Amino acid sequence: MKKVYLTVLQNQALTDSVYKMQLKGDLSGIRAGQFVNIALDGLYLRRPISVCDVEGDVLTIIYKVVGKGTERLSAMDGGEILDVLTGLGNGYFTDFAGDKPLLIGGGVGVPPLYYLAKLLIKEGKKPTVILGFNKAEEVFYKEEFEALGATVLVSTVDGSFGIKGFVTDAVKQVPEYSHVYTCGPEPMLKAVYNATTTGGHYSFEERMGCGFGACMGCSCKTKYGNKRICKDGPVLDKEEIIW
Amino acid sequence: MVNTKVNLCGVELINPVIPASGTFGFGYEFNDIYDINVLGGISIKGTTKEPRFGNPTPRIAECTSGLINSIGLQNPGIDAVVKEEIPKLRKIYRNAIISNISGFSVDEYAYCCEKINALKEVDIIEVNVSCPNVHNGGMSFGTLPENVEAVTKAVKKVTDKPVFIKLTPNVTDIVSIAKACEQGGADGISLINTSQGLRIDLKKRRPVIANKIGGFSGRAVFPIALKMVYQVYQAVKLPIMGIGGVATAEDVIEMMMAGATAVQVGAENLVNPYACRDIVNNLPFVMKKYGIQDLNDIIGVAHNE
Ligand SMILES: Cc1cc2nc3c(=O)[nH]c(=O)nc-3n(C[C@H](O)[C@H](O)[C@H](O)COP(=O)(O)OP(=O)(O)OC[C@H]3O[C@@H](n4cnc5c(N)ncnc54)[C@H](O)[C@@H]3O)c2cc1C
Ligand SMILES: Cc1cc2nc3c(=O)[nH]c(=O)nc-3n(C[C@H](O)[C@H](O)[C@H](O)COP(=O)(O)O)c2cc1C
Ligand code: FES
């Protein structure tokens, strides 16, 4: 963990309610699948947001406006300086990926898969990425994943874009995969767990007090014992998950 | 040079700044980012006889200038704390270790304190009486003077280490509880634990916390804690560890003026992991600013006519 000050470079709407923000500063030690915890003036707790990309000293995050904190973030237009804890959580590891990893993201579970996809491609692997949304207007980052060289499938619940249905309907169209990496709402994670046949790494969310392992606010039970989502997670091995 | 040393029942602290139980784990997360040996003491996570997973999640709700927690005393149990956690902490930390004990019956408190008594690594025992008493309809021990006295006596019987009883603010008359501690033979008093609180999620129309009601703490409770420390200082002769909403060196000084000999910092560690270190670093400057040469000179000065 590091406490750093990051400067907002830009903040741009990707959809009606989802924004992409770029921040500049000391990003040493950040891994794919980790998250940062952002302090905002007037709000007591920090806000945990996944790392979407790191390029040199520029961090990209993507967030959905759902309440006071994310609303405040969305109003920033550059130059603001934020107090951020970085390098939080275990992150995704590429060791288990095999040749054809399958990355599955739902809604704002999509962002952490981007940095992972980039690393996997750099290692010569051939990831397929499934992006799940409710409807066409919510879709984001399809082109960005394609530009990395990943095979991309999009599913929408109402069928207004790509495959009609859930991410698990898209899984049926993937002929072969070696490992699953996924992030999204818990019902989606559970559906992926049941619909896929290989091992996998699943990224969870929980309300957090500290975000760095001190308060036991985010505990969950696993087959390998009690874990803190913020410190021992957010990524859990498929083998250890207890639903 | 100003003097920041204080003495708690014969235990000398290099300064009065102590992270509060449950907000500092067993110290490691913080030792990764600063040398925790700058801290006068550490009160470690509350320990019970059996290992506990604690309450269902969500366990945390944000409030204005504070948070509600409902951890439910998640801890690895007394045996693991005695065998692993405390010796491991002692390897990296040389100042005062305060072992925080919880229980659901008088026997359980005594059982754990006896085990802790055997550990030379522990300097002070802090007994958290905010827990529900299973033999009394689940009402918190800390709300009835006779229960507090009974726990204090039982614990004092099994240990020769200084015993601080940690009080809950969820009572009508904190002074009568403090007097019961004195009556029971306590060596000191820690106060306050969290105040009961509730938040409701407007979208879901349900309480945010899975267990609904939790414990509120953080900056917002500082004046309440200060008042209770002030009242207890007036009523009993025992040294006090002042806890509740402390976030700055100024707060530490204010707590001491109200009557605290040492001060604990809780929730602030969670939002600013450097909070305790920053307070320790600022303390000499703030002392100079207010013309304080020795912290011992200000303990309870606010009571002077
Ligand atoms: C490890 C992790 C990574 C995340 N990554 C992203 C991301 O990349 N993009 C994104 O849009 N969102 C992400 N989230 C969810 C994000 O943290 C919440 O949407 C955000 O905290 C809401 O804050 P708010 O003030 O707008 O909402 P409010 O509802 O006003 O927040 C009130 C409190 O509830 C907490 N809270 C509310 N919703 C959540 C939630 N879903 N998870 C955890 N805490 C919550 C807030 O942090 C705050 O303490 C992540 C959450 C976690 C735990
Ligand atoms: C997340 C959390 C966990 C806590 N766990 C314990 C505990 O195990 N034992 C205990 O005596 N107090 C516990 N407390 C209470 C604190 O030690 C402290 O008394 C209280 O939070 C008031 O201080 P603050 O306002 O600085 O947080 C906990 C508080 C928080 C926020
Ligand atoms: S949020 Fe504090 S331990 Fe995970």
- Note the pLDDT tens digit of each residue in B210-239: 999 999 999 999 999 999 999 999 999 999
Instruction: Tell me the nearest-neighbour CA distance from B66 into chain A, angstroms.
Output: 6
Mutational test site, ligand 1, from A18, A19, A49, max ligand atoms within 8 Å of CB = A49
Quote ipTM for the complex.
0.94
pLDDT on residue B78: 98
Report angle CA A34, A35, A37 to the nearest 5 degrees: 150
Chain A interface, best mutation among B21, B42, B47, B57, by max A CB count within 10 A: B57
- The answer for B 221-240 residues in CB contact with A (under 8 A) is none
pLDDT digits (tens, 9 = 90+) for B153-204: 999 999 999 999 999 999 999 999 999 999 999 999 999 999 999 999 999 9
> What distance in Å separates the CA atoms of residue A74 and residue A11, rounded to the nearest whole number?
7
- Could you confirm whether domain A94-205 is CATH 3.40.50.2300? no
Mean pLDDT computed over B29-44? 97
pTM for this entry = 0.96
Instruction: Tell me the nearest-neighbour CA distance from B53 into chain A, angstroms.
Output: 7
Domain boundaries, chain A: 2-88, 94-205
Q: Which residue among B24, B65, B67 places its CB closest to the CB of A214?
A: B24
pLDDT on residue B94: 97
Which residues on chain B are in Cβ contact (under 8 Å) with A85?
A: 273
Tell whether the model's pLDDT for residue B132 goes beyond 90.
no
pLDDT on residue A94: 93
Query: What is the 8-class DSSP label of residue B23?
Result: S
Q: Is the peptide bond before B87 cis (omega within 30 degrees of 0)?
A: no
Which residues on chain B are in Cβ contact (under 8 Å) with A217?
A: 57, 59-60, 69, 71
In angstroms, what is the span from residue A153 Cα to ligand 2's centroid?
47
In angstroms, what is the span from residue A48 Cα to ligand 1's centroid?
6
Q: Which is the catalytic residue, given B63, B112, B113, B131?
A: B131
In sequence order, the 6+-apart residues with CB closer than 8 A to the CB of A64 are: A17, A18, A19, A70, A107, A108
> What distance in Å separates the CA atoms of residue B276 and residue A214, rounded to the nearest whole number?
14
Mean pLDDT computed over A201-227? 97
In sequence order, the 6+-apart residues with CB closer than 8 A to the CB of B78 are: B47, B48, B49, B111, B112, B115, B116
Nearest one of B156, B153, B85, B98 to B124, comparing CA atoms: B98
Q: Which residue among B69, B269, B271 places its CB closest to the CB of A44?
A: B271
In angstroms, what is the span from residue B185 Cα to ligand 2's centroid?
24
Ligand 2 atom 10: residue of nearest CA: B21
Take residue B270 and report the two structure tokens written for it: 């969670």
Query: Which residues lie across from A6 on neighbouring strands?
Result: A82
Annotation says B276 is catalytic = no
> What distance in Å separates the CA atoms of residue A27 and residue A4, rounded to the nearest whole number?
8
Mean pLDDT computed over A204-231? 97
Contact A210/B at CB under 8 A: yes
Take residue B268 and report the two structure tokens written for it: 């602030």
Ligand 1 atom 36: residue of nearest CA: A207
Put simply, the answer to whether B64 touches A209 (Cβ < 8 Å) is: no
Q: Which residue among A1, A44, A207 places its CB closest to the CB of B33?
A: A1
| Amino acid occupying residue B273 | P
SS3 A146: helix
In angstroms, what is the span from residue A166 Cα to ligand 2's centroid?
43
pLDDT on residue B136: 65
pLDDT on residue B305: 86
Put simply, the answer to whether A3 touches B64 (Cβ < 8 Å) is: no
| Amino acid occupying residue B10 | G
pLDDT on residue B259: 98
Q: In terms of DSSP bridges, do strands B214-217 and B66-69 run parallel, antiparallel, or are they unpaired?
A: antiparallel
Tell whether the model's pLDDT for residue B139 goes beyond 90.
no
In sequence order, the 6+-apart residues with CB closer than 8 A to the CB of B16 are: B4, B6, B40, B252, B256, B260, B261, B262, B263, B295
> What distance in Å separates the CA atoms of residue B90 and residue A229, rounded to the nearest whole number?
27
What is the rounded average pLDDT for all residues in chain B?
96
> What distance in Å separates the CA atoms of residue B176 and residue B172, rounded to the nearest whole number?
9
Nearest one of A112, A93, A91 to A184, comparing CA atoms: A112
For residue A213, name the pLDDT band (cuts at 50, 70, 90): very high
pLDDT on residue B131: 77
Report angle CA A79, A81, A87 to the nearest 5 degrees: 125
Mutational test site, ligand 3, from A208, A226, A227, max ligand atoms within 8 Å of CB = A208
Q: What CATH number belongs to B6-55+71-200+215-303? A: 3.20.20.70
pLDDT digits (tens, 9 = 90+) for B54-64: 999 999 999 99
In angstroms, what is the span from residue B69 Cα to ligand 2's centroid?
8
Instruction: Tell me the nearest-neighbour CA distance from B57 into chain A, angstroms.
Output: 7
Q: Which residue among A3, A45, A216 places its CB closest to the CB of B273?
A: A3
> Contact at 8 Å (CB) between A8 and A76?
yes
Take residue B6 and report the two structure tokens written for it: 């204080």
Nearest one of B275, B272, B19 to A44, comparing CA atoms: B272
What is the rounded average pLDDT for all residues in chain A?
97
Nearest one of B25, B178, B49, B62 to B102, comparing CA atoms: B49
pLDDT on residue B137: 65
Nearest one of A103, A180, A165 to A133, comparing CA atoms: A165
pLDDT digits (tens, 9 = 90+) for A93-114: 999 899 999 999 999 999 999 9
When mean pLDDT is compared across A162-176, B83-97, B132-146, B251-265, the lowest value belongs to B132-146
Which residues on chain A are in Cβ contact (under 8 Å) with B30?
A: 214
> Contact at 8 Å (CB) between A82 and A39?
yes
pLDDT on residue B134: 67
> What distance in Å separates the CA atoms of residue B227 and residue B230, rounded to the nearest whole number?
5
Locus of tokens 């209770």: B228
Which residues on chain A are in Cβ contact (under 8 Å) with B271?
A: 39, 44-46, 210
Tell whether the model's pLDDT for residue B77 goes beyond 90.
yes
pLDDT on residue B254: 98
pLDDT on residue B1: 85
> What distance in Å separates the CA atoms of residue A202 and residue A235, rounded to the nearest whole number?
5
pLDDT on residue B71: 95
Contact A209/B at CB under 8 A: yes
Protein fold of A2-88: Elongation Factor Tu (Ef-tu); domain 3 (2.40.30)
Tell whether the model's pLDDT for residue B20 goes beyond 80.
yes
Put simply, the answer to whether B63 touches A210 (Cβ < 8 Å) is: no
Put simply, the answer to whether A219 touches B59 (Cβ < 8 Å) is: yes
Put simply, the answer to whether A214 touches B30 (Cβ < 8 Å) is: yes
Nearest one of B71, B148, B163 to B112, comparing CA atoms: B163
Locus of tokens 């002070």: B124
SS3 B129: coil
